[in-house]
Structure 1
């Protein structure tokens, strides 16, 4: 058995998983996202660690009643969680200032500068790093955040021993090890095929002096040992093997069953993460690699011969939550609201770029903003909801096209629980969606990685579990083909408007 834990942006979840594919109940604990002026979104590492301890203790307690295989014992703690952001710590794992979330927008001005040519027409920094590593950058990623702190709070970086991410921050607390999973390290400085940092990419961001803060990526299959004091707090045996990563997007990919190159996975979570597996050695081998500009991620995985190309749009269910709150409704109202508005939302359309930090996929633009069009006195609140849901689905198609999707598509995350919204995604993509019945797809992916590292792998189908299939409707897909064309045309017009001089004068973040 394995205790798997997923340290999400606002909710931490843990459950017990058996080799036979069965799982214990999901235990949850909520954390706090703190917002502040200047686009700041932060978390408290101590609070995050407490949520992990709470849910892992609860999951570990299930072992006594868990009806696993004869002789089955607790084998490991498998950790996955949110990626990006910046989790600065000292050598003992104590946080150096609040952890900076991937939702943070304080470095928006830096990203805007890096998107422009340098002195004497030099290549923009975003394009340079993308060309070197295959990864784009956005305000909530490590490169811009480190550069922002180096300029505005250099003393904070001087006090830090490591600039890492959520998963390795938790792992350091539990094992004492300073490490990072290669998937987290991939954005933006890692040369994925060699699993080493590209020093030219670090230098392009002006961060050579901060290179010391980047932990070397853990080797494939590396495990760590649980410290006695941490084991006591977690309710686990001292010395239990700990698997650190991958972070949630690749973990969901492997948990949902990305078994072949060309297959895709769609995470309908707070963010909208679109993933396609590739076995290519480098990003430049991907068709259309430069078509969208310096966007997306090229991720290393625990398996050296398997890579992931990812387009993680900033807003998924977060946009739905926003519009539901705006009209005084809740998630429980979604099915009825979508049923009350036809495909096309009675002419109401939307652009789903609602993050304060702008957009990161399939294009990078710190000034990206959402909007609704086609409103009139006949439009109802159901039309607003359907328009937003359709816009998120169009964004998913845009991302998947950029990734070169060529095979089966799986879907997971909170949004996939909605039958009506899942049908919209299937119809917009023009492909059937394969949705795991069991929750905790990211936890299952992390557990698969842990079992592989232990040298006792469990079959992919058993890890993935049963799935339900949402069939694409040909007639609806034809309707949405025209809607997608309209969406892309409106997006291009909006991108020009975001950068009009009168817009730039009224926007931007201050420190």
Structure 2
């Protein structure tokens, strides 16, 4: 048996499965969130540990745990965990959706020579939310804490450290720090030298890099006892939630597109060669399965829809009738859903806007549709950037938004692609468990490729398929054009 653990923004999930991907147990535990009006969003790493313990124990209930051979951890990307010389957490982790560090991101880009210079030197343009600006923020705002930094970890790396006692990283999650060159798969020391003045403090704090074939180690004795797992249980390298979501949807070969509709929204597609974008809109990430994973992320997704429903006194049950009873474009009502600022386009200080209200279109159903269209159009603009004019034939949709049949139909009609839903809803957990299989197979000398593993573990839910209605394609083109127009009018940017 294999265990996949996914530490997200809102909580930690655990999935126990067999060699063929059949689920045997599940668990979930929620996280608290430190949120301040200035854009700060933080969590205490101990909350992740506590949630991991709770969710894993739920998943293992009634199961012969001695048969658990390996586990993998998926984690929210970009978060900054800093440890002192005694390996103790110095302060709460700043998260991927923390926009308090926007000024530091802009300052760092300028100090490195501008966006074009960053792209040429490191293959990536730092965006607010990436890990690097959090380090400069720490130096400028908490110099005493900055001086204590001896180890730098991402969320999933911290959990691997807690599980095994080993400090290490892997290419996928590392490529989202902006102090990593995804072209060469090496740490970019120059970026860190710009922050610490070339002292080497930050570069020396970086963990060892491992490949997906390697493993972090086995469980610490006290951790094994606490979780009820054998100490021989292998811990794979794991990775960022998007990288594990890619594995969990079979996105380990070219031609597969995954769209995630969670708290944030992401769209990505595996490639054999790096995809480099000088604008920074497409993140030139590495995959955690050996290749690259060009990705576009928007910071506002199901959270916007949920809050809209709450304000209207509605629930998620009202999504289906609202979409079914309204037309593409919401009668020219446009919702720019930037409640948390935005990452793509790079507008960390942006605010949400509802534009085009009239006495005719000002209805709860239209507002719900406009919120969902705003979230969808933002990430579909990103898909166009990744595909470079190519047409996606099939898109695998995961996350909370994938549960809505009408939302899936909207995506099919707007893209012209067939929308498919994986049978296992928790793609991050599944991908982490599949990576554990991969690492374990290498450790015993009988390596299994990711293609082999995904072919038997990733299944599709036939009832969740949505096929595009050609007669609505033009209406959605017009609606997306209106979205881009409003974006340009209000923020002078376009995708």
Same fold per TM (> 0.5)?
Answer: yes
Deviations 1:367-415 (A, max 9, x none): 3332111113331111111001111111122101111264432111111
User: What's the counterpart of residue 509 of structure 1?
Assistant: none
Q: Does 1:337 align with 2:322?
A: yes
User: What's the counterpart of residue 472 of structure 2?
Assistant: 476
User: What's the counterpart of residue 376 of structure 2?
Assistant: 393
Q: Does 1:213 align with 2:205?
A: yes
**SS of residue in 1 equivalent to 2:71:** strand
C-alpha distance in structure 1 between counterparts of 2:120 and 2:244, whole Å: 25
Q: CA deviation at 1:54?
A: 0.8
Relative distance call for 1:50 and 1:474 in structure 2 (3 A) is same
**SS of residue in 2 equivalent to 1:270:** coil
Q: Which one of 208, 214, 218 corresponds to residue 222 of structure 1?
A: 214
Q: Does 1:315 align with 2:309?
A: no
**SS of residue in 2 equivalent to 1:459:** helix
CA contact (8 A) 2:16 2:24 kept: yes
C-alpha distance in structure 2 between counterparts of 1:207 and 1:6, whole Å: 36
Relative distance call for 1:478 and 1:62 in structure 2 (3 A) is farther
Q: CA deviation at 1:329?
A: 1.7
Q: Does 1:192 align with 2:182?
A: yes
C-alpha distance in structure 2 between counterparts of 1:133 and 1:497, whole Å: 24
Q: Which one of 235, 257, 260 corresponds to residue 264 of structure 1?
A: 257
C-alpha distance in structure 2 between counterparts of 1:344 and 1:106, whole Å: 33
Q: CA deviation at 1:496?
A: 2.5
**SS of residue in 2 equivalent to 1:26:** strand
User: What's the counterpart of residue 403 of structure 2?
Assistant: 417
User: What's the counterpart of residue 90 of structure 2?
Assistant: 96
Q: Does 1:374 align with 2:374?
A: no
C-alpha distance in structure 1 between counterparts of 2:81 and 2:15, whole Å: 25
Q: Does 1:39 align with 2:39?
A: yes
User: What's the counterpart of residue 78 of structure 1?
Assistant: 72
Q: CA deviation at 1:93?
A: 4.2
Q: Does 1:446 align with 2:439?
A: no
Deviations 1:175-231 (A, max 9, x none): 111112221211212222432112334345666442222223223322111001011
| Structure 1 alignment gaps of length 5 or more | 66-71, 499-511
Q: CA deviation at 1:49?
A: 0.4
CA contact (8 A) 2:6 2:429 kept: yes
CA contact (8 A) 1:129 1:204 kept: no
Map residues 479-494 of structure 1 onto 2, 5 A cutoff.
479-494=475-490
C-alpha distance in structure 1 between counterparts of 2:137 and 2:421, whole Å: 40
Q: CA deviation at 1:35?
A: 1.0
User: What's the counterpart of residue 301 of structure 1?
Assistant: 287
Map residues 418-433 of structure 1 onto 2, 5 A cutoff.
418-433=404-419
Map residues 493-504 of structure 1 onto 2, 5 A cutoff.
493-496=489-492
Compute the TM-score of the two structures, normalised by the length of structure 2. 0.90
CA contact (8 A) 2:152 2:205 kept: yes
C-alpha distance in structure 2 between counterparts of 1:133 and 1:267, whole Å: 27
CA contact (8 A) 1:186 1:192 kept: yes
Q: CA deviation at 1:277?
A: 1.2
C-alpha distance in structure 2 between counterparts of 1:235 and 1:276, whole Å: 37
User: What's the counterpart of residue 313 of structure 2?
Assistant: 328
CA contact (8 A) 1:129 1:189 kept: no
User: What's the counterpart of residue 464 of structure 1?
Assistant: 458
Q: CA deviation at 1:134?
A: 3.3
Could you say what the CA RMSD is over the residues aligned between the two structures, in angstroms?
A: 2.2
Deviations 1:5-50 (A, max 9, x none): 1111111111211112210243111010111243211111112101
User: What's the counterpart of residue 87 of structure 1?
Assistant: 81
User: What's the counterpart of residue 69 of structure 1?
Assistant: none
**SS of residue in 2 equivalent to 1:109:** helix
CA contact (8 A) 1:127 1:294 kept: no
CA contact (8 A) 1:175 1:226 kept: yes
Q: Which one of 246, 258, 283 corresponds to residue 275 of structure 2?
A: 283
CA contact (8 A) 2:328 2:479 kept: no
C-alpha distance in structure 2 between counterparts of 1:497 and 1:309, whole Å: 21
Q: How many residues were matched structurally? A: 476
Relative distance call for 1:275 and 1:123 in structure 2 (3 A) is same
Compute the TM-score of the two structures, normalised by the length of structure 1. 0.88
| Structure 2 alignment gaps of length 5 or more | 442-446
**SS of residue in 2 equivalent to 1:177:** coil
Relative distance call for 1:211 and 1:395 in structure 2 (3 A) is same
